[in-house]
Amino acid sequence: MQSRRLVQGRTPLLVSIPHMGTYLPPDIRARLNDTGRALPDTDWHLDRLYDFAADMGASVLMSTHSRYVVDLNRAQEDTDLYPGQVKTGLCPLQTFDGEDIYQAGEAPDGIEKLNRVAAYWLPYHEALAAELARIKSVFGYAILYDAHSIRAEVPRLFDGRLWDLNLGTAHDTSCDASMSQAALAAAASGDYSAVLNKRFVGGYITRGYGCPAENVHAIQMELVWDLYMDSGAPYHYREEKADRLKPVLGRVLQSLLDWGRGRYGV
């Protein structure tokens, strides 16, 4: 089973959804405990929440495999994203709440982690890089929107409750500052709280691919689960909530497209 699925679009915008996958290869699934098999840290239902993106002309790249197999938003060298804070890791061993996900003695060793990178991490990133290159070859620039979601309160990772819509641009090193301000204004256009570069400033994908000097602009959106789904198992999608959120997300994506046309004339 491929570790990614790509729907190619017709605009300069690529939406990446690296944590929505739920597939566990049988050999890995057999070694997880019940907590791990429940996949509590999945970015649930984001393909459904962003189902309008393809209609807007965006390319959409989606993971199929769980982040418990390999985390696509971490460097393959497994360097810290947020030094001094809890590290969730390239091949996670615990949930965000600190619960073990493997049965005793079944955690992957260094060789297995390298094999997972080769089998699952690299294909996603090769597809991501290739699609950005294709988009740039057509339009002269590319915009990457990395889509995520999380429980509003995860005490082990951060204090208190998150804002509703959390944009990150590595403090405007991954995109032009005027693009991030346009996205923030669009995010704040509804009834939701929105912030830029607070708790989440963008993960490996945002930081690794965003390069304004080369006309590739990347921004991350981390939104909280209870805006569109139940925050507890079995994590039901709530269509009425989602239908209120989608127009705001649509305005955020449209702000990126409008910014690109204004900046580059294409």
Yes or no: say if 225 and 149 are a contact pair by the CB < 8 Å rule. Answer: yes
- Predicted pLDDT of residue 78: 78
The CATH class, in words, for 4-264 is alpha beta
pLDDT > 70 in the chain, percent: 97
> pLDDT tens for residues 152-203?
999 999 999 999 999 999 999 999 999 999 999 999 998 999 999 999 999 9
The kind and range of the H/E element at 17 are strand 13-17
- Predicted pLDDT of residue 83: 65
Give the number of other Cβ atoms within 10 Å of residue 114's Cβ: 14
- Predicted pLDDT of residue 79: 75
- Predicted pLDDT of residue 8: 98
Yes or no: say if 30 and 101 are a contact pair by the CB < 8 Å rule. Answer: no
Q: How is residue 36 written in tokens? A: 């791990």
Domain boundaries, the chain: 4-264
Most distant pair of Cα atoms in the chain: their distance: 57
Q: What residue ranges of the chain have pLDDT lower than 70? A: 80-87
The kind and range of the H/E element at 217 are strand 216-224
pTM given for the model: 0.96
- Predicted pLDDT of residue 247: 98
Identity of the residue numbered 167: L
Identity of the residue numbered 176: D
- Predicted pLDDT of residue 86: 65
> CA of 17: how far to CAs of 34, 170, 216, in Å?
25, 18, 18
